[in-house]
Amino acid sequence: MGNIVAIVGRPNVGKSTFFNRLIQRREAIVDAVSGVTRDRHYGKSDWNGKKFSLIDTGGYVKGSDDIFEEEIDKQVELAIDEADAIIFMVDVESGVTPMDEEVAVLLRKVDKPVLLAVNKVDNNKRLENAVEFYSLGLGDYFPIASTNGSGTGDLLDALIEALPENQEEEESELPRFAVVGRPNAGKSSFINALIGEERYIVTDIAGTTRDSMDTRYNRFGFEFNLVDTAGIRRKSKVKENLEFYSVMRSVRAIENCDVCLVVLDATRGFDGQVQNIFWLAHRNNKGIVILVNKWDLVEKETNTMKEYEAQIRREIEPFTDVPILFISVLTKQRVFKAIETAVKVFENRSRKIKTREFNDIMLPIIEGNPPPAYKGKYVKIKFCTQLPTPYPQFAFFCNLPQYVREPYRRFLENKLRSKFDFTGVPISIFFRKK
């Protein structure tokens, strides 16, 4: 399980530029594969072979400076809670501001690594000016310029040094299911309905459940671990900014599971926030099951369910091969079916296809439908195989991998899905030089 690093600081100090610089290499690759733009405040990066997830807390605040004053405290507290290390960014042009001092007060109490990055230091005069940031009481600082990347190497070296060692979890054979979704969609109640006891007390009191808890679960002949993110800490504090909050709460659980059960409230629909969580799971190559909860509260007409499902599938194109179940946690309707489906998706995600069988099925399809010529060049695919990775990835070996376009990749993925059951599981397809 990777570490999570949060970037905090007031607006316009260059957090996003720095964030983009760190993830751009990886992002370019990720987005080229799916061709869909994603939430720009979460990404993966690596430095000297150590991978970590990066969260830019700045992108979530809209509004004026005074709204920001209280907002930033909440974000910093959230970052302190959720991240393994924090990069606090300040700006040498404006010097130490009252808001910086306020953030520093919060960060000085923390027993996690905090790295102070002084941005926009691009000449010697500014290097001298940066000295005043010692007054924040956070020890040494790192002078950087996120526009041209100077100084970021030293900062990242120190970051990697400071990150806690990844405790490799003892690999249990049991699948790990994470229950994710926006607050009040019924996650805790779903878990209660499953476990059959009020282990998660569903209340509005501050600090109901803090960490995502793992429950070893054995019923209906299934055994698995349930990773729960239901806990919402201090409701009163996060009323205004639930979107940032629930995305951030979900990151760790999603990275740490095999299958995500995305719970949404039928009366609110598959809105932007649920979509963020869905794409987060997709981008992490997790199995996905969508659970539409509170279906008992929706006014029914003859084909309401069909229409509702079609609407969701439109939103999640091109990855539409995902189970969508309509449940009611209150009446326990289809709750067991949800787990059955998750187990099935887990099996799909771990499915391995023998190379010979794979070629026997895919090569005739490719022969009948070769990649269209591009710039007068013909692509010949000679051989294909599944890669030995924890989730389904396939390599197709050909003479001109750079000429295979996105539509053909989709065509192959659709064929592959129709021949083998990968429902609920993102697939990666690579074209390699033979």
Point out the annotated binding site.
9-16, 56-60, 119-122, 181-188, 228-232, 293-296
Report the C-alpha gap between 257 and 116 in whole angstroms. Answer: 32
Which of 83, 9, 382 is closest to 248 using CA atoms? 83
Residue 252 gets the label, from left (phi > 0), alpha (psi -120 to 50) or beta, of alpha
Strands 222-228 and 213-219: antiparallel
Query: Treating both helix axes as pointing N-terminal to C-terminal, what angle do 98-108 and 65-82 enclose, rounded to 10 degrees?
Result: 20
The CB density around residue 432, as the number of other CB atoms within 10 Å, is 12
Helix, strand, coil fractions of the chain, as percent rounded to 5 = 40, 20, 35
Closest CA to 278 of 294, 291, 266: 291
Question: Are the beta carbons of 231 and 202 closer than 8 angstroms?
Answer: no
Angstrom distance (rounded) from CA 314 to CA 319: 9
Tokens 């990886």 sit on residue: 26
| Count of other CB atoms within 10 angstroms of residue 378 | 12
Sheet holding 85-91, edge to edge: 42-47, 50-56, 3-8, 85-91, 114-119, 141-143
CA 124 vs CA 69, 120, 374: distances in Å: 32, 11, 51
**Which parts are annotated binding residues for GTP?**
9-16, 56-60, 119-122, 181-188, 228-232, 293-296
Side-chain-facing half-sphere of 7: CA atoms under 13 Å: 32
**Distance of alpha carbon 187 from the chain centroid:** 18
Placement of tokens 């369910």 in the chain: 305
**Cα 377-365-384 angle, rounded to 5 deg:** 75
